Structure 1
Amino acid sequence: MVMNQLKDFLKQYNIGAKSVIVIGVSGGPDSMALAHSFVSIKEEYEFKIIIAHVDHMFRGQESLDDLEYVKNWCHLNNVHFEGGRINVNKYIEETGLSSQQAARDCRYHFFDEIMQKHQADYLALGHHGEDQIETILMRLVRGSSSIGYAGMREKRPFSTGEIIRPFLELRKHDLISYCHEKNIIPRKDPSNEKDVYTRNRFRHHVLPFIFDENPTAQKRFQQFSRQQLDDELYLMELTEGIMNTVIKNKQKQAVTIDVEQFLKVPISLQRRCIQLILEYVYLHIPKGLTQGHLNSILTLLQSEKTTWELNLPEGLLVVRSYNECVFTFEQTNVKYYTISVNEPGIYELPNGFSIKVELNNQCLEPKNDTFICSVKDVSFPLVIRNRKNGDRMSLKGMNGSKKLKDIFIDEKMKQSLRDEWPIITDSQNNILWVPFVKKSAFERNFSTDESLIAIQVVSKSF
């Protein structure tokens, strides 16, 4: 059964003759069956085989004995051996990762080094059907991406080539039986018996029920995995095709989308749009990023709220401002300023505005970039500043006053601009003008003998 499965896999995935194959071997029955079956056909397929073993140094002499066991087996079978000892406990202290995740990171880093050293085509791993069931169920329970729900791939890119997993349709007892037939006495890892690990709890308490219902359930799960992967890859292809209509601006680790265009996309592709954006802005997707975060983004984008912020792991900020939504790591550092205007001149603001103030200039007519008022209507000095909580202004042509916050909302000013936009007041804190936004009731019809103040925006690189 094992040999037939391996040869069928090699044919299905076009694993060519003369390939260089690194095999990850722990010394347990799964990986030993994998190593022996590959070595058995290496002459037939002209494979170059390298056995790679990692000692995680968790179990002292016992794990060192595992390394020696695999090394000796390779010597007896005339197979090239690459072994490594990695202090995973030290790596855990440095990173704060769980023991299993830390061990996985270190192990795959070692495999990557061996792949590059030998310019290998494939890294073969001994995961079997029960491992696949555990992986799919764990991801369904804790949450994952759509492609994550497919579980482990039979073949995927890695290092200088690809990872292959030929045994995902087999059960563990198939591999144990193969070892018995070939007089292989594999090593045992006692940690596999401990319920302290989530995977072990699924293995010991959930899988027996599943196999009682269907002794070949691993084949059904593997069929689901392939279908899920095929569907997901197709949907991602569709999503990539419509991204150019959704993205307005794309920079390194920063993306701006058009919300209106985004909401026209079918919901199944909306989810994948967000997934692609997150994969782009994050150099590496953090472990703390969950499906719940993605759902929160979608819910907020589909809500009636047109301005909001959402903080994601590792400092990523998602900010919606009306029809734009920005994914960025750049935190806005507001430039606060208060400038007193006691005489005519040009006043440069720290945010890129330049404001020109003139007196007794009656030749200017009110324009969008200019505000004119009477000297007798205001108290000096004038002040140019940022907005403050509670700011209100009396609008030209209207009775009463209105909150500045509401004015910004009505004018659909971007959230990122509001805190630094210039507000021009007199010394009594009467707001005279919010450039390009609103003019106050202080701009009126003037008599020909009034002394006037003309305030003009002469440059704006904001």
Structure 2
Amino acid sequence: MNLVKRLASEVKRNRWWTRKTRVVIGVSTGVDSMVLLYLLEHLKYYRPQIIVAHVNHELRKASVTEEKYIRKYCHQHHLTLVVAHWRKQDHPKTGTENAAREFRYRFFKHVMRKHHASVMLTAHHLNDQDETVLMRLIRGGDIRELTGIHRCRKFANGYLIRPLLQTPKHDLRKFAVQHHIKWYEDRTNYSLKITRNRMRHRLLPWMTQEDPRAVFHIGSYVHQLTLLVQDNMLLNARLIKPLKTDRDNWWKLDPLMKSSRVIQLGMLHELFRQFDSQLMITPPMMHEVIILLNDNDRPQGRIAVGNQRHLQKDYHQFGIVKDQSLSGPNVKSSFSVKLNQWYRLLNGDEFGVFGKPLSQFHKQFKFNLSKFDFPLKVRQGQSSDVLRLKNGGHQKVRRIWIDKKLSNHDRNSSQILKTKNGFSLALLGVKASFTEASDNAKPYWLIVKRAQKRG
């Protein structure tokens, strides 16, 4: 089967696009992208509305010639072309390759949105896949990274598809020669200073000497591993359902502890993936997490998991929290309170004291206060602070912390509402004091808006 028929078959089977679909294709003028552009143009029933996106990275003198060629080509073939320049003054001193890639994909997203396209195509092929997997294998990390480059994934307002990902480089070159397709070689692709090039020109050729089908074998393993990872994700997604709480990004610990540590590992990987797919937890880091969660002698604890996040264990629950200062910008630990006004607390919640109840809030604390109780003040809670109970007794804040199983982090960020005379009205968001009605007192309502749902 030739490449045109093969692509047509893939488009039909996967329902990637129709003739009315607007498709953006990234073209560098290298052999891979020029072949893919040729294939799109020669699809009989599945040729989409083609928009060519080209980036002049201004890294090589040849870039000028390549841009002129793609402009001429698109004009002759009546194709829409969008060109972007990555100006020299924007080039970083280090990490040029990654920065260029980020610029390129930002540009692709822009073109998709501008032209209302739902599909983005790049010409990555089987050798690119193998090189990526070998680099990750040598570097080390999470086994899921060995699934390599995804053939299809969500991107911008549609999908990024790599139709040639199962086609070896050799077939693309052979096709280009047979069909007299002109392309340009990027000389930097031969520099052995670049890790990918060493995979391409040293390691892969050595492997194909051992077995001519080595490129296909690596691709086959990647495909099998991808299927296994997908099956595992589906299984773990079912297993973690009983762990859910009504608190965002917090889960029940007890159901997790009923599973073996091997099963716990998969469940935790899925929780982290659902929280943030870019959050890559290293094996040593995951080992620390499992040790903490299984340690009955440590009811509380925190472990950094990257991306300015911590896994936090609080008695019978655990969650993922952002690393941030307690106060944050424009948030004070101590301040005076005016009626009918909202204030932000250290833990991110908001509260206010109002002269009448607000019907949209289910939980409200009613106080009976006289004019001598004002102004009300807020300060950080202390373990020695006490709240008055309805039976006439008192309860220390320290005991409330323990009874409510508040973490050290929550205790440090707790704040207390006091009257002018120092009477503790409430441990804000946790518990309120009892106040008696009197002729000199009027009713007021304390309302706390949660920053997130909590159990």
Q: CA deviation at 1:129?
A: 0.9
2:292 aligned to which of 300, 305, 321: 300
Shift of 1:101: 1.8
**Out of 379, 384, 401, which is 1:350 matched to?**
379
Q: Between Structure 1 and Structure 2, whose CA radius of gyration is higher? A: 1
Contact 1:348 1:355 in 2 (8 A): no
**What secondary structure is seen at the aligned counterpart in 2 of 1:45?**
coil
**Aligned with residue 171 of structure 1, among 168, 172, 187:** 168
Q: Distance in 2 between matches of 1:140 and 1:82?
A: 37
Question: 1:92, 1:98 within 8 Å by CA — same for their partners in 2?
Answer: yes
- 1:323-338 superposed matches below 5 A: 323-329=316-322, 331=324, 333=326
Residue 195 (structure 1) aligned to one of 182, 192, 195: 192
Kindly state the Cα deviation for residue 131 of structure 1 after the two structures are TM-superposed: 0.5
Equivalent position amino acid for 2:32 in 1: D
Within a 5 Å distance, the mapping from 1:307-318 to structure 2 comes to 307-318=300-311
Structure 1 Cα separation of the partners of residues 77 and 412 of structure 2: 72
Q: Distance in 1 between matches of 2:38 and 2:404?
A: 72
Percent pairwise identity: 24
Corresponding letter in the other structure for 1:298: I
Classify 1:149/1:124 alpha carbon distance in 2 versus 1 (closer, same or farther; 3 Å): same
Change (3 A) 1:76 1:419: closer
Question: Secondary structure of the residue that 1:114 maps to in structure 2?
Answer: helix
Tell me, yes or no, if the aligned pair for 1:248 and 1:257 is still in contact at 8 Å. yes
Give a deviation string over 1:408-459, Cα, whole Å, max 9, x none: 999976333555789xxxxxxxxxxxxxxxxxxxxxxxxxxxxxxxxx9759
- Residue 4 of structure 2 is aligned to residue 10 of structure 1: no
2:210 maps to which of 208, 213, 230:
213
Tell me: CA distance 1:241–1:421, structure 2 relative to 1, closer, same or farther (3 Å). same
One-letter code of the match for 1:64? V
Counterparts of 2:188 and 2:132 in 1: how far apart (Å)? 18
Pairing 1:68-79 to 2, within 5 Å after superposition: 68-79=68-79
TM-aligned CA deviation for residue 29 of structure 1: 0.9
Q: Return the match for 1:261 from 235, 255, 259.
A: 255
The correspondence for 1:40, drawn from 28, 42, 63, is 42
Q: Per-residue deviation at 1:279? A: 4.7
| Contact 2:387–2:395 (CA under 8 A) maintained in structure 1 | no
Report the residue type matching 1:165 in the other structure.
R
Distance 1:116 1:269 in 2: 42
Between the aligned partners of 2:88 and 2:282, the Cα distance in structure 1 is 25
* Residues matched between the structures, number: 376
Q: State the alpha-carbon separation in 2 of the partners of residues 332 and 79 from structure 1.
A: 53
2:158 is aligned with 1:161: yes
Q: Of 243, 247, 252, which residue of structure 2 is paired with 1:250? A: 247
Q: 1:189 to 1:265 in 2, by over 3 A?
A: farther
Deviation at 1:23, TM superposition (A): 1.6
How far is the alpha carbon of 1:14 from its aligned partner?
Answer: 2.7
Quickly say closer, same or farther: Cα 1:298–1:225, change in 2 above 3 A. same
Structural mapping, 1:49-64, within 5 Å: 49-59=50-60, 61-64=61-64
Question: Residues 102 and 365 (structure 1 numbering): CA distance in 2 closer, same or farther, change over 3 Å?
Answer: closer
CA deviations over 1:41-80 (Å, ceiling 9, x no partner)? 2x44342222211112222x32222222222222233322
Question: Are the counterparts in 1 of residues 56 and 86 from structure 2 also a CA contact under 8 Å?
Answer: yes
**One-letter code aligned to 2:163:** P
Q: TM-score, normalised by structure 1?
A: 0.68
Whole-angstrom distance in 2 between the partners of 1:89 and 1:224: 43
SS of alignment partner, residue 106 of structure 1:
helix
Corresponding residue SS for 1:250: coil
Deviation at 1:280, TM superposition (A): 5.2
SS of residue in 2 equivalent to 1:105: helix
Q: Distance in 1 between matches of 2:251 and 2:84?
A: 46
Q: Distance in 2 between matches of 1:409 and 1:250?
A: 20
Gap regions ≥5 residues in structure 2: 335-371, 416-431, 436-445, 449-455
CA contact (8 A) 1:169 1:222 kept: yes
Do 2:154 and 2:160's aligned partners in 1 also have CA atoms closer than 8 Å? yes
| Paired letter, 2:73 | W
Gaps of 5+ in 1: 338-344, 358-363, 372-385, 388-403, 423-455
RMSD over aligned CA atoms reads 4.1
